[in-house]
Amino acid sequence: MDSFLARAPALTLALLTLMAGGYQRWREQSSRQSANGGMTPERLANVPERFADWQLESSQPLEPATEKMLRCSAYLNRTYRHRVTNDRVYVALLIGPAGPLSVHTPDVCYGSQDYQTIVAPRRVQPRDNHPDEAFWQTTFQSKTPERGLLQVAYGWKADGAWAAPAQPRFALGGGGSLCKLQIASQLPASAEAESDSACQEFLHDFLPVLDRVLLGTPADEPSAME
């Protein structure tokens, strides 16, 4: 008994140290989850391959140079096709440090790929019942005529709604982790440059599904598969 009592302070200290370590890890995990709007690398696996009228067509890795530059901790880079219209959208869902993700806007990406901006970014709200939510939408034209017009919608999520700040570097790039969603779609050859593409319909259908993923609903539940 005396030996046990002699060791009791050390055992208590060890227990408190373990509890403190566990609490600190929990705080760090909660902070990371809050900082990117609830999207964690583990939850990316719950993003469904089929929802509404959209079906996954392919999934591609990011270019190594892009992944290194953005320092993504996790990402999805997919192509979805609409089962009725055959419209195709290219979807990048990225998690990483706020600094690189906030400054890497489509004009940087597509500007290096033979595209030029022909319609200045404007804010759009894909869902009428989410007035605090916003994305940027812009249109590019390829310098190669047969490639046509490309419309791109993009926004970021920290700890609130999807946002489209005028200066994302200053509004979002201060630190922590960030989630970025970017959608691209070819416009029909006959379309005007300011026409809406499949991006709008995809965002309208995809964002409710993504909301459920952020809350941790498994992808195989009926609520995420329609």
Q: What is the pLDDT at residue 155?
A: 96
3-state secondary structure of 169: helix
Q: Where are the domains of the chain?
A: 36-224
- CA–centroid distance for 7 within its chain: 52
Handedness of CA 99, 105, 110, 112 (dihedral sign): negative
Q: What is the pLDDT at residue 156?
A: 93
User: From CA 7, how far away is CA 24, in angstroms rounded?
Assistant: 26
CB distance 176 to 82 below 8 Å: no
pLDDT in tens, 88-110: 999 999 999 988 898 888 888 77
pLDDT in tens, 110-153: 766 788 888 899 999 999 899 999 999 999 988 877 777 899 99
Q: What is the pLDDT at residue 39?
A: 64
Read off the pTM: 0.76
pLDDT in tens, 144-154: 777 778 999 99
The secondary structure element, H or E, covering residue 102 is: helix 98-103
User: From CA 207, how far away is CA 22, in angstroms rounded?
Assistant: 34
CB distance 156 to 162 below 8 Å: yes
For residue 7, is pLDDT > 90? no
E-strand ranges in the chain read 50-51, 54-59, 74-82, 88-97, 115-124, 135-142, 149-157, 177-186
Q: What amino acid occupies position 52?
A: A
